[in-house]
Amino acid sequence: MIQEKDEALVNHLAKQGVNDKMVMGHPASLFVLFFTEMWERFSYYGMRALLVTFLITEIAKGGWGWTNPQAMELYGWYTGLVYATPLLGGMLADRLTGYKKAILLGALTMTLGHASMALEGFSQNFFYLGLALMILGNGLFKPNISSMVGQLYPNTSAKKDAGYTIFYMGINAGAFLGSLLCGYIGEKVGWHYGFGLAGVFMFFGMLQFYFAQKIFGVIGDSPNPEKDPTVAALHTVRHGNEEREDLYKEFDEAGAKQNIESKLTDATEEEKVSVFKYLREAFANKIIRDRLIVVAVLILASVFFFLAFEQAGGSMTIFAKNYTQRVLDGAAGITFKWADAALTLLPILVVTFVLLKLAAKIIKQYPLTIIFTLISFFSIMLLGVWKIHREFTSDVTEVTVAWFQILNAFFIVTLASSFSKFWEKVWNPSGPIKFAMGLVLVGVGFLALSYGSLSIPQGAATASVSMIWLILAYFFHTTGELCVSPVGLSYMSKLSPKKFIGLIFGFWFLASAIANKLAGWSGGLIDKITEMYSMSTFFLIIAGLPIGAALLLLLFSGKLKKMMHGIN
């Protein structure tokens, strides 16, 4: 299908000096960010899929033999700090390095972190050093690549939410492949191989971004254009005036002038003009203040969402390891092998298709970017085929603990495009409504786990619950995530003043840090609550928190929509 060019989007890109070639109706530069973020998420989720399982696995099997609460405490601190450092990374990029340099430095730091973790067999200190480098690198990388996505679109573009959803599909393509391959290799071949593999593809992501920097024009360059008066003037024309004019759209100029004429009868014309400018500026500042209040509300709501959602790497991992039937035989084993083979190959083929579409547009201008990305995908394909062959020739079919974590990413990859089209063409409710929907859906996922856990006796240390309940939970969690995460990234960009956008993204990820720490703390209560009450009660408590927050958002959604002043 031939995509018609969005003139407002093309004009916006031209002002930034961004290449205006389109892929599936969106800037080609969006897909460069798509693949860069994909490999970063491959590294992060590949390692996260192994972390808790590695820590609680017996020493005889290569793990550290920690208790569930001990593992959950480290998990909470690590994931919390991973999402806290973007606040500093956003500030650093806003004031010193610019987005591009911050992304490259972050990618290099994370690559070194994975290399260090791969050496955990020599000393535990390498493991902790790797975690520290991953935390610092993520802080530089995460907020700034999200900020660059937002700057590719004008605030009024209907494609902005869709663009973030496509970008989010890239995030989850990486999460899927990382959890699938690093998790499999770590559990079945060797932990250090799984940790090391994640770093290899982080390195590929860094290279493909490095060689495509010019495709972004001035987006992500040094944040200090005032050093050159000519560049400063251009920066003001491109950014400052555009933002202020957008804020004045609701201002009733005719009414204000009439009011001034009727009430200030003894004022000079110069004084009247000054009063008019003052009122106009005060109105613009009120819009900024109202929008920032909405930003704060959405950030607070995200804490309740991610507190529940991030149980995936903690209590849900413990549930998968100790309470889920993972050894399959007979027809069930054969069915799983074929389903797993399809799950392995289908996402790789889908994302390869996207890569080929991008290559057709930019390979002549940015050949090294495409070459390095093609090499990485060829490597992924070989690993996928090797994994499938190994499983089909194995006598025992045992589902890895990490396998369940691929479900969220798989559902994202398969559903993201449908959600994007739904928001763009069918129904596009306000941000608070979308957030409320997401909070309810993540709660429904835990209600499914609560129901599936009813058969587990009080205080039981192990059980063999059907896999279907975890699969259902991940499905509902994913649909909820599509209503919150990409939408949240988009609204942080649309509602924030441009000069503070990196800082606002930092606060968005700081909220995720708080949520991850709370997820680690609450997940660590799984043994205690199971002993005192039941596993079903534990999941019921987790379900109630986001659903309660959703009801409050629905109650105030009308007021919040008005405070967004035309941003939808």
- CA 277 from chain centre, in angstroms, equals 41
For residues 197 and 375, give the distance between their C-alpha atoms in angstroms, rounded to a whole number.
Answer: 15
For residues 336 and 386, give the distance between their C-alpha atoms in angstroms, rounded to a whole number.
Answer: 17
Evaluate whether residue 75 is within a structural domain: yes
For residues 439 and 418, give the distance between their C-alpha atoms in angstroms, rounded to a whole number.
Answer: 19
CATH number at residue 318: 1.20.1250.20
Which residues of the chain are under the pLDDT cut of 50? Answer: 1-3, 225-228
Evaluate whether residue 345 is within a structural domain: yes
DSSP string, 130-193: HHHHHHHHHHHHHHHHHHHHHHTS-TT-THHHHHHHHHHHHHHHHHHHIIIIIHHHHHHT-HHH
Evaluate whether residue 253 is within a structural domain: no
Per-state percent for the chain, helix, strand, coil, to nearest 5: 80, 0, 15
* Residues in the chain, overall count: 568
DSSP string, 502-543: HHHHHHHHHHHHHHHHHHHHHHTTHHHHHHHT-HHHHHHHHH
- Closest by CA position to 155, among listed 483, 430, 493: 493
Q: Are residues 427 and 551 in the same domain?
A: yes
Residue pair 248/285 in contact (Cβ under 8 Å)? The answer is no
What pLDDT does residue 298 have? 96
What pLDDT does residue 3 have? 46
pLDDT, tens digit, 9 for 90 and up, residues 51-102: 889 998 888 888 888 998 999 999 899 989 988 888 888 788 878 888 899 9
Evaluate whether residue 419 is within a structural domain: yes
Q: Are residues 54 and 152 in the same domain?
A: yes
Residue 323, φ and ψ in degrees, nearest 5: -125, 5
Q: Are residues 343 and 321 in the same domain?
A: no
Q: Are residues 489 and 355 in the same domain?
A: no
End of a domain among 342, 365, 398?
398
Residues near 363 by beta carbon (within 8 Å), at least 6 away in sequence: 370
In the chain, the number of structural domains is 2
Q: Are residues 335 and 409 in the same domain?
A: no
Evaluate whether residue 320 is within a structural domain: yes
Residue type, 140: L
For residues 242 and 39, give the distance between their C-alpha atoms in angstroms, rounded to a whole number.
Answer: 34
Residue pointed to by tokens 């649909």 = 479
Q: Are residues 351 and 436 in the same domain?
A: no
Q: Are residues 137 and 195 in the same domain?
A: yes
Q: Are residues 172 and 288 in the same domain?
A: no
Residue pair 510/83 in contact (Cβ under 8 Å)? The answer is yes
What pLDDT does residue 448 have? 97
Residues near 15 by beta carbon (within 8 Å), at least 6 away in sequence: 238, 242
Residue 246 has which token pair? 């957008």
Evaluate whether residue 390 is within a structural domain: yes
Residue 290 has which token pair? 């109202």
Q: Are residues 390 and 474 in the same domain?
A: no
What pLDDT does residue 543 have? 97
Q: Are residues 334 and 392 in the same domain?
A: yes
For residues 400 and 335, give the distance between their C-alpha atoms in angstroms, rounded to a whole number.
Answer: 16
Evaluate whether residue 176 is within a structural domain: yes
What pLDDT does residue 227 have? 45
Is pTM, for the whole model, over 0.85?
Answer: no
By CB atoms closer than 10 A (0-12, 13-18, 19+), residue 480 is buried
Residue pair 124/66 in contact (Cβ under 8 Å)? The answer is no
Q: Are residues 456 and 333 in the same domain?
A: no
Residue 199 has which token pair? 């770093």
End of a domain among 379, 398, 417?
398
At residue 27, the 3 state secondary structure works out as strand
Evaluate whether residue 533 is within a structural domain: yes
Can you give the residue range of the structural domain that contains 461? 283-326+404-567
What pLDDT does residue 156 have? 67
Name the packing angle between helices 99-117 and 68-92 (round to 10°).
150
For residues 25 and 171, give the distance between their C-alpha atoms in angstroms, rounded to a whole number.
Answer: 19
Q: Are residues 337 and 361 in the same domain?
A: yes
Residue 89 has which token pair? 């990374």
Q: CA 28 → CA 140, 150, 545, distances in Å?
A: 24, 14, 40
Q: CA 551 → CA 252, 435, 440, 556, distances in Å?
A: 35, 11, 9, 9
End of a domain among 398, 419, 434?
398
What pLDDT does residue 1 have? 39
Residue 465, φ and ψ in degrees, nearest 5: -75, 150
What pLDDT does residue 269 have? 84
